[in-house]
Amino acid sequence: MARAAVPGRLTWQKAVLQSASFETPTARTLVFDVPDWPGHLPGQHVDVRLTAEDGYTAQRSYSIASASGLSITVQRLDDGEVSPFLTDIYDIGQPVELRGPIGGWFVWRPTDPAPVQLIAGGSGIVPLMAMIRSRADHGVRTPFRLLYSVRTPQDVIYADELRQRARDDRGLDVEYVYTRVRGSRIGVADVNTHAWPADFKPAVFVCGPTGFVETVADIMVALGHDARGIKTERFG
């Protein structure tokens, strides 16, 4: 059945869970089958709507993890209403409603020649991973650096894939800050050591919890980066 194609209009679509896998004990990647997914830019998100038997509904936004097709990675929040369902209960073959892609600001375009600095805090890696995957899919050589702040090595989402991509691709550099292991949060020295210098005029994408993004964005500005070149996405 063809959907009404109203240009620019985001309609709710039925999506069926095609496959799923755990990235960490609390982060699960969901791959959806969406019959006429229009494609998206890395960094965009989707809205997911769940309906309970009594008609109660809940909506949440999730960053898209994939470069093509549609997958998201959900981090379970223990006091959450929706995420524990999606990580623990939601099963292959089950439908949900979703609409998207949404957001035209926090996106990377493969045609942009500027070097890219990605800085992730925790599950803030998800939309940045979509950018890394998109870069590879498009075969562009734009130099990418990822600085990934996470509590312990066990909390790294996409650990194997990141290791493999960084090994096989000289244009992708990945550095980790394990905050729980060393007992301190990301700081000026980490960013100064591992991020592109301001002189390179990189396109900067920062994603993570609010406090993390505030801290990192302040550091980048203090290190001389143009505030207009720093795009942020905050959650929580």
Binding site for another protein (CB under 8 A): 6, 8-10, 12, 14, 47, 49-53, 56-61, 81, 85, 89-91, 94-97, 102-106, 210, 214, 217-218, 220-221, 227-228, 230-232, 234-236
User: Given the DSSP bridges, would you call strands 203-209 and 230-235 parallel, antiparallel or unpaired?
Assistant: parallel
Nearer to another protein, 153 or 211 (CB): 211
User: Given the DSSP bridges, would you call strands 70-75 and 45-51 parallel, antiparallel or unpaired?
Assistant: unpaired
Nearer to another protein, 175 or 214 (CB): 214
Q: How far is the CB of 205 from another protein (least distance, A)?
A: 11
Cα 149 to Cα 73, 166, 174, 179, 207, distances in angstroms: 17, 16, 11, 7, 10
Nearer to another protein, 115 or 229 (CB): 229
Q: How far is the CB of 30 from another protein (least distance, A)?
A: 13
What one-character-per-residue DSSP string does 138-160 give? HT----EEEEEEESSGGG-TTHH
Q: How far is the CB of 184 from another protein (least distance, A)?
A: 22
Q: How far is the CB of 135 from another protein (least distance, A)?
A: 22
Nearer to another protein, 56 or 182 (CB): 56
CB count, 10 Å around CB of 214? 14
State the amino acid at position 210 in one-letter form. Answer: T
